[in-house]
């Protein structure tokens, strides 16, 4: 390789590398803004790829342990967007823009090769909560709750205050049930 080509490659390589790193950083930043995207009517677009977010915990309240009438008789797999998880690890607080997705999964079989228990069945949809101090300045803790119907591309805000009231009364940290999420408890500074 000629000296000219080596010199040219030597001067271009750092620029290319810097450009690629800049694009990767920009991709992360642009991905982050999609965690809480809204329609003009203030409906939350269905969060995509939430299963790649930080899995913070799961719970199940089966009917047979609740006199046949559990309020939520399915598994709840709960995810927090990565940027908000990073903020939580630094501060122990949920930032404005935090999005938490609750994936609903039916209780399937109660028997497995490993023994008896409760095992996931079929996916039943998602719900979400979003903290945003500018969008929801009058809601408790600046949190809004969203329900998604079937295969809808966006979820309507839940005007029913039952979600908020329960979260206010029973959640350990800023309307989030961190007492049931060991991942968050372990990461809190």
* Gap between the Cα atoms of 156 and 36, Å rounded: 13
Has residue 165 got a pLDDT over 70? yes
Contacts of residue 136, defined as CB under 8 A and 6 or more positions apart, other chains included, come to 130, 142, 143, 144
The secondary element (H helix, E strand) that includes residue 129 is: strand 120-131
For the question of whether the overall pTM of this predicted structure is more than 0.85, the answer is no
Q: Model confidence at 29, in pLDDT bands (50, 70, 90)? A: very low
Query: Which pLDDT tens digit goes with each residue over 43-80?
Result: 888 888 899 999 999 999 999 999 999 988 999 999 99
């Amino acid at each position: 390789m000629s000296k000219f080509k080596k010199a040219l490659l030597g001067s271009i390589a750092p620029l290319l590398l810097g450009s690629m790193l800049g694009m990767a950083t920009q991709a992360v930043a642009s991905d982050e803004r999609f965690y809480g995207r809204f329609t003009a009517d203030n409906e939350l677009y269905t969060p995509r790829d939430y299963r790649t977010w930080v899995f913070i915990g799961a719970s199940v309240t089966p009917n047979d342990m609740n006199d046949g009438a559990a309020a939520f008789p399915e598994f709840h797999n709960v995810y927090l967007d990565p940027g908000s998880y990073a903020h939580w690890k630094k501060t122990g607080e949920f930032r404005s823009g935090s999005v938490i997705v609750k994936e609903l999964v039916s209780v399937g079989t109660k028997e497995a090769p490993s023994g008896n228990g409760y095992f996931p069945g079929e996916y039943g949809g998602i719900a979400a909560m979003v903290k945003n101090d500018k969008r929801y300045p009058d809601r408790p803790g600046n949190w809004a709750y969203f329900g998604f119907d079937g295969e809808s591309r966006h979820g309507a805000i839940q005007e029913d205050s039952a979600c908020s009231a329960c979260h206010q009364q029973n959640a350990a940290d800023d309307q989030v049930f961190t007492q049931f999420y060991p991942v968050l408890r372990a990461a809190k500074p």
